[in-house]
Chains A and B, each alone.
Chain A
Amino acid sequence: MRIRWTVLTLALILLVGNLDGTDVQAQEKEVTFLELGDYTGPASAMCNPMQAATADYFKYLNDKGGVNGVKVKYIPMDARYEIARALSAYNRYKRDSKVLVVNCMGSSIGKAVGAVSREDNQVVLTPADGHSHALRSNVFAWGAAWADAFAAVLDWCLTDWKAKGKTGKPLIGYMSYNNAYGQDALCGGVEYAEKLGLKLLPPEFFPPDSLKHDVYLTRLADQGANYVFIGGSDPTPSNVVRGAADLGLTKKITFVTDMYGTTAIGVKLYPDALEGTIHVAYQIKGEEAYNNPFIREFWNKYQKQPINKMVEAYGTGLAWSRTFEFALRDALQRVGYDKLTRGEMLESYTRQTGLSMLGVQGSCAYSKTSRAACDEVRFYKVTGGKILPVSDWKKVPDAVSLHKWL
Chain B
Amino acid sequence: MMKSYRRNALLAVVFFLLWLLGFATVGYSQGAKAQVIPGKFYVAPSLIKNPIQFEGSGFVSKEMVVVEMVLPQGVKIKGVKQGEDAVGLAYATADVEGNFKTAMQPLATLSWFFQVGWTVNGAPDFKEATLLTPGKYEIRAVGMASGTIAKTAMEVVAPPPEEKK
Using a CB–CB cutoff of 8 Å, the interface residues on chain A facing chain B are 1-2, 5-6, 8-9, 12-13, 15-16, 19, 39-45, 77-89, 91-92, 94, 112, 115-116, 208-211, 233, 235-236, 239, 265, 269
A1: B residues at CB distance < 8 A: 2
Q: What is the 8 Å Cβ interface bit string for chain B, positions 1-30, against chain A (1 contact, 0 not)?
A: 110011011001101100100000000000
Which A residue's beta carbon lies closest to that of B11? A9
Q: List 5 A-B contacts (CB under 8 A).
A: A2-B1, A9-B12, A43-B122, A235-B122, A236-B121
B72-97 interface with A by 8 A CB criterion: 78-81, 84, 86-91
Which B residue's beta carbon lies closest to that of A81? B107
In the complex, B132 has a CB within 8 A of chain A:
no
Using a CB–CB cutoff of 8 Å, the interface residues on chain B facing chain A are 1-2, 5-6, 8-9, 12-13, 15-16, 19, 64, 66-68, 78-81, 84, 86-91, 104-105, 107-108, 111-112, 117-118, 120-124, 142, 144-145
The answer for the CA separation of A83 and B64 in the assembled complex, in Å, is 12
Whether A45 touches B111, Cβ cut-off 8 Å, given contacts A80-B79, A83-B105, A87-B66, is no
Q: Is the CB of B6 within 8 A of A87?
A: no
Distance in angstroms from A232 CB to nearest chain B CB is 8
Given contacts A41-B111, A79-B79, A83-B91, 12 further A-B contacts (CB under 8 A): A2-B2, A5-B5, A5-B9, A9-B5, A44-B118, A80-B78, A82-B105, A84-B104, A85-B79, A112-B91, A236-B121, A239-B121
Which A residue's beta carbon lies closest to that of B143? A91
Distance in angstroms from A243 CB to nearest chain B CB is 12
Which B residue's beta carbon lies closest to that of A79? B79
The answer for the CA separation of A265 and B121 in the assembled complex, in Å, is 10
Q: Is the CB of B16 within 8 A of A12?
A: yes
The answer for the CA separation of A208 and B118 in the assembled complex, in Å, is 12
Q: Is the CB of A84 within 8 A of B5?
A: no
Shortest 10 CB-CB contacts between residues of A and residues of B: A88-B88, A84-B88, A78-B79, A12-B12, A5-B5, A9-B9, A209-B123, A85-B88, A87-B66, A42-B122
Q: Is the CB of A80 within 8 A of B111?
A: yes
Distance in angstroms from B112 CB to nearest chain A CB is 7
B89: A residues at CB distance < 8 A: 84
B108: A residues at CB distance < 8 A: 82, 84-85
Of residues B87, B112, B144, B145, which shows the largest number of chain A Cβ atoms within 10 Å of its Cβ? B144
Q: Is the CB of B121 within 8 A of A78?
A: no
The answer for the CA separation of A6 and B8 in the assembled complex, in Å, is 9
Q: Is the CB of A16 within 8 A of B16?
A: yes
A85: B residues at CB distance < 8 A: 79, 87-88, 108, 111-112
The answer for the CA separation of A6 and B7 in the assembled complex, in Å, is 11
Distance in angstroms from A365 CB to nearest chain B CB is 30
A86: B residues at CB distance < 8 A: 88
A209: B residues at CB distance < 8 A: 121-124
The answer for the CA separation of A82 and B145 in the assembled complex, in Å, is 20
B122: A residues at CB distance < 8 A: 42-43, 45, 208-209, 233, 235-236
A235: B residues at CB distance < 8 A: 120-122
The answer for the CA separation of A8 and B124 in the assembled complex, in Å, is 61
The answer for the CA separation of A155 and B121 in the assembled complex, in Å, is 30
A16: B residues at CB distance < 8 A: 12, 15-16, 19
Of residues A12, A16, A78, A87, which shows the largest number of chain B Cβ atoms within 10 Å of its Cβ? A87
Checking B78, B79, B80, B88 against A87 with a beta-carbon cut-off of 8 angstroms, the contacting residue is: B88
Distance in angstroms from B24 CB to nearest chain A CB is 14
A89: B residues at CB distance < 8 A: 84, 88
B80: A residues at CB distance < 8 A: 78
Q: Is the CB of A42 within 8 A of B8?
A: no
A81: B residues at CB distance < 8 A: 107
The answer for the CA separation of A403 and B126 in the assembled complex, in Å, is 41
Which B residue's beta carbon lies closest to that of A233? B122
The answer for the CA separation of A8 and B67 in the assembled complex, in Å, is 44
Q: Is the CB of B121 within 8 A of A211?
A: yes
The answer for the CA separation of A116 and B87 in the assembled complex, in Å, is 18
Q: Is the CB of A41 within 8 A of B5?
A: no
The answer for the CA separation of A225 and B75 in the assembled complex, in Å, is 52
Distance in angstroms from B32 CB to nearest chain A CB is 15
Q: Is the CB of A2 within 8 A of B19?
A: no
The answer for the CA separation of A217 and B90 in the assembled complex, in Å, is 34
Which A residue's beta carbon lies closest to that of B80? A78
A82: B residues at CB distance < 8 A: 88, 105, 107-108, 111-112
